[in-house]
Structures are given as C-alpha cells and as structure tokens.
Amino acid sequence: MKSHYRAVVIGGGVVGASVLYHLAKFGWKDVCLIERNILTAGSSWHAAGGFHALNADPNIASLQAYTIDLLSEIERESGQSVGMHMTGGMTLAGTPDRWEWLQSAYRTFQSIGIDDVRLITPQEAGELNPLMSTHGILGGMWADREGYVDTTGTVHAYAGAAKKHGAEVIEHNRVLELIQTAEGWDVVTEKGTIHTENVINAAGLWAKQVGRMAGIELPVSPLNHHYLISDTIPELEALDKEVPLTVDLEGFTYTRQDQKGMLLGIYEIDHEHWMMDGAPWEYGFELQQEDTDRIERELTLGFERYPALQNVGVKTWVNGAFTFAPDGNPLVGPVRGKPGYWCACGVMAGFLQGGGVGKSLAEWIIHGEPEADVFGMDVARFGDYAGNKRFIKETTGQFYTRRFVMTYPNEQLPAGRPLKKAAAYSDMTAAGCQWGASWGLEVPLYFAPDPEFTETPTLKRSNAFNLVAGESKAVREAVGLLDISGFSRFEVSGSGAEGWLDRIMASKLPEPGRAKLAPMLSPEGKLKGDLTVFNWGDGTWWIMGSYYLREWHMRWFTDHMDDHVILRDIADATVGFSLSGPNSLKVLEKLTDGPIADLPFMGCGTFDVGMIRAKVGRLSVSGELGYEIHCSAAEHITLRETLLTAGADLGMKEIGFNAMLSLRLEKSFGIWNAEFTQGYTPSETGMDRWIDWDKDFVGKKAALAEREGNGPERTVVTLEIDATDADASGFEPIWKGGNLAGFVTSGGYGHSVGKSLAMAMIDKGAAEVGTELSVHIVGAECAARVIEPSPYDPEGKAMRGIS
C-alpha cells in the first residue's frame, strides 16, 4: 500500500470493483480499492446475480444494457469467469392494466434503441418456461439479453481486469476515518493513512458510516431480502435447455434456474429494515434467519406459479440485506461542499447496474461530466430533508414493498408525506386541492370541489380530466391562481454578482427591472439549466428554476463560484402565487397604487399588493398575460386571500400544475427533464435562440463547435396525435414509414385547442411541418403529424397583452 493515490475506492463489492476498473481503464493507473474484509463481503456474495432489461427510467435502462454488454468484456480482460448464463428473460402480466403497462414499456425500449425485446403470449411464455403455470397470465415481455451471473466470479473479474490496467486492490484493511484536507482527503486505515485527491464511497451496507465520516447523512438503508434455492427438480433434469429468468409481477417473485433446482426470490409486502445506521463492521458473510411467516403469502403465490416446487425440498434459504435509496435508484456523484468526495452507493441491483454506475462515475471524476444523463441516480436529486431517519424508513420501505407493484403515472404515493407545506396548504386543501410532491414539498395538481373525489389511478385519461379542463378554460378566459412555492429561487448579490452570472449563463443578462430566460451549459456544451434571471435593479439578482433541482443547481453554482459573490437559496423563505389569464392585470390593478399596468412583458419590480410588499415579474408559462407575485413565507396565506378576494368577480379559479402542463404544451414551451436535460445540447432543443454568442461563457467553445459544424442531427418539434382515451407522456417511440424517427419528450391533452399534443425529439429528416408519423400510446399505434410550434396563439399576442 502506498501513501498517495489519485483516487481511493472504499468497498470491495461489485460497485466498488466496477468503479476501480473504469477509473483504471480510462487512464487513471494510480488508484486503489480498500476493502475491510475480502472482496464480495457484504451484499455481493449472496446476491441472486440476475440481470434484466426493465427499468422505469429509460436512461438507467440504457446503463443496464451497457452493464450486460460489459460482462463478457471483463471476463475476457481478467481471465476470470463471470459464470454468465444468458438464458433470456420474461416479465409477466396478470391484469389488464399491467399488460397495458408492459406494452408501453416494450415501446419505451424501442425508443432508446434496445431492440432485442418483444411481447409474448401466455402460450409462448409457457413454452419458454415449462415449469411455469400460465394460469391468469395475459401476456409478457421477452428480452434476449437477460440471465444471471456468478456473483463472486463477477466481482473478481472486475477487480482482476482493474489490476491488469494498473489498479491496486487492498483487502483486510478497514477505513477508520476520513479527514478533508486542502489537497483532497486523508483516508485513515488500519494499515496507515493514504493521501488522495478523490475518495469514492462504494461501501454498500456500510455507506451510511462512510458518509458520516465526511459529515454527510446519506438517504440509504439496508432491507432484508429473501430467496430460496430448491432441491433438484426432476422436470428440470429432463429438459435439454436452461429455463429463462422469469419475473411474475403479480406474484412478487422472480425465478431462475440454479443447477438442476430453482432459485425463487421474493419482494414481500411486509418488508423488514435491518441496521438502518449501517451494518456492524465485523459483519461480512452472515445471513439473517429466514422468516417464512412474514413471506407466507408471496411464497404461496410462487409455489402456485411453479407447481414443481411443491414436490421438492428447499436446499438453501438466503435472507440477506441490500441497501436501498428512497426511490430505489443508486446514489452517485459528487457531494456539494465536499470536493473530491464521490458517492457510488445505494445500488440495490449491483450486478445489473454496477457497470453503468462505474462507467458514469469514472467519466465524471476524470472528465467532469458523465456521457449519459444520470440525474435519475445523482445523489443531488435529494436534499437534507431526505436524511431524516423516519423519511428514509418510510420511503425505502415503500419502494421495496412496491418493487413489483404497478405504480400509475397519476398515482400519488404516501411515504414521507406530507413533509414540507406552504403556509396556505391547509386553506388550499379545504378548497379541494389535490397534492403531489416535489423534493419534499407539497405542490398543487388540481382542485376537486367535491370532498369525496378520488382520482382513479390509470395509464389513460383519468376522472380528473374534466377538472383540469375547467382550470385550463379559466386561465384562457378569465384568470387562474397558482401556488408557485414549488419553484427554486436563488438570490445573488455582491460586487462580483453580475460578472459571475454573465460567465455561467449563456444568455445576455437582463437590464435593471427586467427578467430573461437563460440557458446554462456545461463545459462540454450540454444543458445544465433552463433558468430565468431577474435583475431587480438594486444590485440583487434572482435565479429561478425547478424546485426539485435546488441541490443539483446549488452544487453546480458552488463548483463554479467566483470571489465577491453572495449566493443564497431562498426558496423556502420566499414563496408566492402566479396570476395567468386576460383578467390578471385587472386583479392586480385593484390591489396596487403603483404603475403595475406599465410593467412590460418580462419586466420585474417591487409593488405593494394589498398590504404586502411583493416582488412581481410579468411573465407567463401559460401563454396568457401573467404575473408571478413573490412574498415571504409568512405572507403566503394573506397573499392568497387578497388575490382571491380581488378576483372573485373576475372569474378567478385556483388551478394546479396539471392545467399548466396542458397550457404550456399548447404553447410548445419545453420543461426540464423532458425537452431539456443535461443529455441535450441547446441547438437540439431550440435553447440556442437565447445564447449571446458575442460574449464568453461556460460551454461556449463546445456550443460554437456544434453551431459551426453540421448542426444537430435531431431537434424538438410539436406533434398533434390522433389519440382517443390516452395521451403520450414521454419516451413513446415515433415512427416514420415503419422506421424509428424519435421519441416523445412530454405530452398531454390541449384542452383549449381540443387536441392530444406532444413534444418530441426526432431526426431532422422527420421534423418538417406536415410530416406524417405514428406514435405508440399505451400499446396502441396512433397517427400523428408535425405541426407548427405553439398551436395556441402562435404569434404570442395574449401573453404580451396585445388584443
């Protein structure tokens, strides 16, 4: 062991070994892995080792596909067998909704280029796995590249390949302490202290403790997970092939062959946390006693699905812990305020996702940015609120219990809620507000005057459809009132504020008393934000964006900070409401003596609104005349009451963000995580229209190279779709003449124009207005066509107040 390394990976499981391998493969030879026991001690040794294609996040599904391809490569490089059994795999559906969901998932795979997946009938499923009863099965989805590996062999293959690239593996050496230094980190171990620029927490069951060594409270917890391995099954002995990996969603089980027996794994409803503060340091190759009473219901379903299990004994029980994050996805990336500290933990499916995690993190460490859009597993998708132990217990337990339970796009899950509530929450609830959650904050979705109303979870248009239509109509014809507490707000001041903003924002900065849309780019020319900058004219600026990106953006701002800049996150202290619609100015004119009527489009200023001294911006996401009114959190209730009273005779209606989705689609206004992501460039998305090419800014060189080259091969367009009872939502494939031309970025129903609409990223050759296309929505192919942007008020007269 040397005293200095460029990077130190803590943890010798599959994820840590993958990170080490990718760092070394990408050129960093001076790296090591430290393991307190031996490789695989923890979760890796007892994992079932299955790999499959399915993931709710298409970006993570792509990284899973990368991992599957990588397995044979590390076997070849290391000379260590990974014991790969490419059996193929199938996911089964036993309810009509689940079958529709699988059909949608199949189309999503087509969108992201995974073409070895197909839908199968119950009869085909039975033929592929003759040990299975097809009773109650409506259909399934088959993937060629599914199967399982030898878990121990795979970890050693990653580690062996890493060593051949120059990396070092140090076993039997527990990390005792982490000390942050000016140069990086001192890693204090049982065998001495290592100085390093970068330390990677890949500690698995011990990730919590390794986080606390750096003063970080990671939102992770271990939960126990059961599987059994049966004795030899005569029906398997008689087969001349290996049965495929099979997931029975309605039965909460997965199975694969294990020699001539069967492995049956269970995601039980009655979950069980284990050692929430992290595993004991001496733990390594132990298991918990099986608890058959707790899993009785799921065991029964499994034995009914696979009748052959009823005639043989159980050879081995495994009840071991895996670490989960609140949403089940990994925690990967740098931690704000801890330069050189990186996370690679919470990877509950390490043999499926470990390769993608290792690749993305190594790229991040070495190049400053991963190739793929990995926000779905970025540690910054959570804030400090997620470190609360009860929050972690509720959310990780909910994910585990619902691992094989279908969640509908319009379904609101209860764990960890309500947590953060705007001041007017109770009054809005009394008025019928139905809530969703964004980064721990309750945000309004729509209002249901009937106190007995319950929205039906569905893949199609729900029973809230007409409520949202009514709210959309109120905005177009009168005025809608929306709680905008769920926006991020950063205050920027200090003598260096203007220069700093001018460097990190790609647009021109607004003049005093004005606001401006501002794309923000990475050095590689990818989007890092679709933000709005306000210049209040007194040396103070605001940056506004998506509430759930608060930590993500704060990390970026902090990493690119200049001297003499004061940056404050004021999103919880400053809240507000927006007014949208032709009567919005009339409402404000009742409440202020100031020249509110003279405020220009994209203007901003301070006004007395009733008794509240408010910051007001004239801008609109709805495409109508609109104002955003910002106040202190203590004034939120009063502001709402004041605006409702003033708008009572002007047709005012409280609205939620579901209506805003419809309204902004009718204007072809993109949003983050749909039309705009860190995987896209400004030219692809149309955000380049806001770039000031005459100044220097972060990412200019890369953006200019794209502009001066052949330009992007794809672009964002607006589609009109001939849909009937369901609308596109995202990642549905778009076809032109039978060939894949792109995918939907977001969609919904345009209540004002009476059409099903979508925005889409498609090939330039299919982007011309009038091009006839087709889109698969919930399994049904629908005709579609490219239309001109902004099907409602294309000239933008309404939001500019032009009659």
- Express each pLDDT in 724-783 by its tens digit: 999 999 999 999 999 999 999 999 999 999 999 999 999 999 999 999 999 999 989 999
pLDDT of 382 higher than 80: yes
Nearest C-alpha neighbor of 475 from the set 720, 794, 793, 727: 793
Question: What pLDDT score was predicted for residue 237?
Answer: 95
Question: Quick one: average pLDDT of 176-195?
Answer: 97
Residue 582 tokens read as 């032709």
Query: Does residue 672 surpass a pLDDT of 90?
Result: yes
Which pLDDT value is given to residue 1? 87
Q: Say how many domains are in the chain.
A: 1
Cα 790 to Cα 678: distance, rounded to the nearest angstrom: 24
For 55-80, b/e burial (b = at least 16 CB within 10 A) is: bebbbbbbbbbbbbebbeebbebbeb
Domain holding 229, by residue range, is 4-375
Q: How many whole angstroms separate alpha carbon 419 and alpha carbon 385?
A: 9
Q: In this predicted structure, what is the pLDDT of residue 399?
A: 96
Name the pairing type of β-strands 626-632 and 574-580.
antiparallel
- 487 located within any domain: no
Give the mean model confidence (pLDDT) for residues 106-120: 89
Q: Using the predicted structure, report yes or no on whether residue 609 has a pLDDT greater than 90.
A: yes
User: Is the model's pLDDT at 720 over the cut of 80?
Assistant: yes
Local structure of residue 672 (DSSP, 8 states): B
- The DSSP letter of residue 113 is T
Tokens of 199: 């330390």
What integer pLDDT is reported at residue 65 of this predicted model? 87
Tell me, yes or no, whether 726 lies in a domain: no
DSSP assignment of 694-752 equals: TS--TTHHHHHHHHHTT--SEEEEEEEE--SS----S--EEEETTEEEEEEEEEEEETT
Does residue 232 lie within any of the structural domains?
yes
Q: Which of 60-69, 195-204, 663-672, 787-796 has the lowest mean pLDDT?
A: 60-69
Q: Is residue 544 part of a domain?
A: no
Q: What would the 3-class secondary structure string for 153-176 be?
A: HHHHHHHHHHHHCCCEEECCCCEE
Query: In 10 A of CB 452, how many CB atoms?
Result: 5
575 lies in some domain: no
Tens of pLDDT, residue by residue over 555-596, are 999 999 999 999 999 999 999 999 999 999 999 999 998 899
Give a three-class secondary structure readout of 1-54.
CCCEEEEEEECCCHHHHHHHHHHHHCCCCCEEEECCCCCCCCCHHHCCCEECCC
**pLDDT value of residue 300:** 97
Q: Map residue 532 onto helix, strand or coil.
A: strand
Helices 58-78, 96-111: inter-axial angle, 10-degree rounding: 60
Amino acid 710: pLDDT: 83
* Residues 480, 471 contacting (CB under 8 angstroms): yes
pLDDT at 594: 80
Amino acid at site 296: E
Spatial distance between the Cα atoms of 32 and 199, rounded to a whole number of angstroms: 10
- Mean pLDDT of all residues in the chain? 96
Question: Cα separation of 367 and 363, whole Å?
Answer: 5
Tell me the mean pLDDT in the region 643-654: 98
Given the structure tokens 């979705």, which residue do they identify? 445
Cα–Cα distance between 233 and 13 in angstroms, integer?
32
Determine whether 115 is exposed, middle or buried from the number of CB atoms within 10 Å of its CB (0-12, 13-18, 19+): exposed
Beta strands in 135-260, from DSSP E residues, in sequence order: 139-143, 147-148, 168-170, 175-180, 185-189, 192-201, 221-230, 245-248, 253-258
Task: Mean pLDDT check: name the lowest of 299-308, 383-392, 708-717.
Answer: 708-717
The token pair that represents 718 in the structure block: 């607006």
Quick one: tokens of 417? 């809620």
Q: Which residues of 10-41 are buried (b: 16+ CB within 10 A; e: fewer)?
A: bbbbbbbbbbbbbbbbeebebbbbbbbbebbb
First to last CA, the chain: 75
- List the beta bridge partners of residue 446: 434
In a domain, 425, yes or no: no
* This prediction's pTM: 0.96
Q: What pLDDT digit, counting tens, does each position of 22-33 carry?
A: 999 999 999 999
Side-chain half-sphere exposure of 454, counting CA atoms within 13 A:
3
> 454-484 pLDDT, tens per residue?
999 999 999 999 999 999 999 999 999 999 9
pLDDT band at 438; cut points 50, 70, 90: very high
Specify the pLDDT at position 112: 82
144 CB-contact burial (10 Å; exposed 0-12 / middle 13-18 / buried 19+): middle
Look up residue 344 and give its DSSP letter.
E
Task: Give CB contacts under 8 A, 24+ apart, made by 417-422.
Answer: 417/442, 418/442, 419/385, 419/391, 420/385, 420/572, 422/483, 422/485, 422/575, 422/633, 422/636
- Report the candidate in 322, 331, 338 with the shortest Cα–Cα distance to residue 199: 338
- Secondary structure letter of residue 591 according to DSSP: T
Strands 89-93 and 245-248: parallel
Residues 411, 464 contacting (CB under 8 angstroms) = no
> Residue 14's closest CA among 349, 513, 340?
349
Q: Which residues pair with 632 in a beta bridge?
A: 574
Mean pLDDT value across residues 595-602 = 96
- Per-residue pLDDT band for 604 (boundaries 50, 70, 90) equals very high
Residue 645 in any domain: the answer is no
- Torsion sign, CA atoms 682, 684, 690, 692: positive
For residue 15, name the pLDDT band (cuts at 50, 70, 90): very high
Do 249 and 293 contact (CB within 8 A), yes or no? no
Give me the pLDDT at residue 115, please.
84
What is the per-residue pLDDT across 42-76, written as a single tens digit (0 to 9) for each?
A: 999 999 999 987 676 778 888 888 999 999 999 99
Which token pair is 542?
Answer: 């605001």
CATH number at residue 12: 3.50.50.60
Q: What is the mean pLDDT of residues 210-232?
A: 98
Calculate the CA 83 to chain-centre distance.
32
Q: What is the mean pLDDT of residues 585-609?
A: 96
